A = this chain, B = another copy of it.
Amino acid sequence: SLDKIRLQSLAAANLVTNMELSLKKVNYFSQGLGATIDTDVTSPTQVENLAWASRFYRRIMVIPDRRPPTAALAKWDEPGDCWCAPPDTKRDGKVQLGVHLPSRIFPDQLTIEHIPMTAVPGKDISNAPQNVELWVKSDKPAIPRPGSSHNCESEGPRGWICLGTVTYDIRGANHVQIFDLKAQTQDPIDHAFVRITKNWGADHTCLYRVRLHGAYDGPDHDYQATE
């Protein structure tokens, strides 16, 4: 049917788009490039293993064995290949993931992905992020991009500025969602954290993968001598 062809085309387009993202955009949250977790601004990891409870009640809440925050920076293959955290009491309940970047950049886009609801029992991905803010370490205020209004709700720690709030849509056509940041920094930065101010209803929040993109603070490599 025509509907099936359209769906197939959409799936193919998403597949190509997601592959291109990995090959065509630098991810400054990549551990391969040297990114590391900034534990000062990262929430504690979910510690209790609820697998026994879920098995007992014969109901699934995909709560995997405790994985470290780096799980939110790496690729995933299976349900549970993610980092999970309960509400962070020290931070008004908001979950944060902080990253030391491998180099200074002017951030411009954030990519968030979560497992699709169709891939888990009962379509329960209520632990997915909904509203996500990006904060970076800077002495100077952020500059809103043309046509954007600065829209972060919460207050951040001293010396950090917010570059925008984005909304992850668990019903989006593509589970890998790229967002333009609403403000830019005056200087290049190399410390950032994402703050989840709202999830889709669960008592904990999980991040399958977060990527940060931006303009590199330096010239492109000059290959002339070697051709």
Residues of A in contact with B (beta carbons under 8 Å apart): 8, 11-13, 15-16, 19-20, 22-28, 30-34, 51, 54-55, 58-60, 62, 64, 75, 77-81, 102-105, 116-126, 130, 170, 175, 190, 198-201, 216-221, 223, 225-226
Q: Is the CB of A32 within 8 A of B221?
A: no
Task: Give the residues in chain B near A124, CB-CB below 8 Å.
Answer: 220-221
A107 to B173, CA, bound (A): 27
Q: Is the CB of A119 within 8 A of B22?
A: yes
Nearest chain B CB to A30 CB, angstrom units: 6
Nearest chain B CB to A203 CB, angstrom units: 12
Q: Is the CB of B122 within 8 A of A80?
A: no
* Given known A32-B78, A126-B223, contact A119–B8 (CB-CB < 8 A): no
Q: Is the CB of B16 within 8 A of A8?
A: yes
Pairs of residues from A and B, 7 with the lowest C-beta to C-beta distance, nearest first: A32-B78, A124-B221, A201-B226, A32-B80, A32-B79, A121-B216, A24-B118
* Given known A33-B60, A122-B219, A122-B221, contact A16–B12 (CB-CB < 8 A): yes
A104 to B60, CA, bound (A): 10
Q: Is the CB of A62 within 8 A of B33?
A: yes
Q: Is the CB of B34 within 8 A of A175?
A: no
| Most interface-central of A26, A64, A125, A217 (chain B CB within 10 A) | A26
Known A23-B175, A58-B104; 19 more pairs at CB < 8 Å? A8-B13, A11-B20, A15-B15, A15-B16, A23-B119, A25-B119, A32-B78, A32-B80, A33-B78, A34-B51, A34-B55, A55-B102, A58-B103, A75-B77, A102-B121, A105-B121, A125-B221, A200-B223, A201-B226
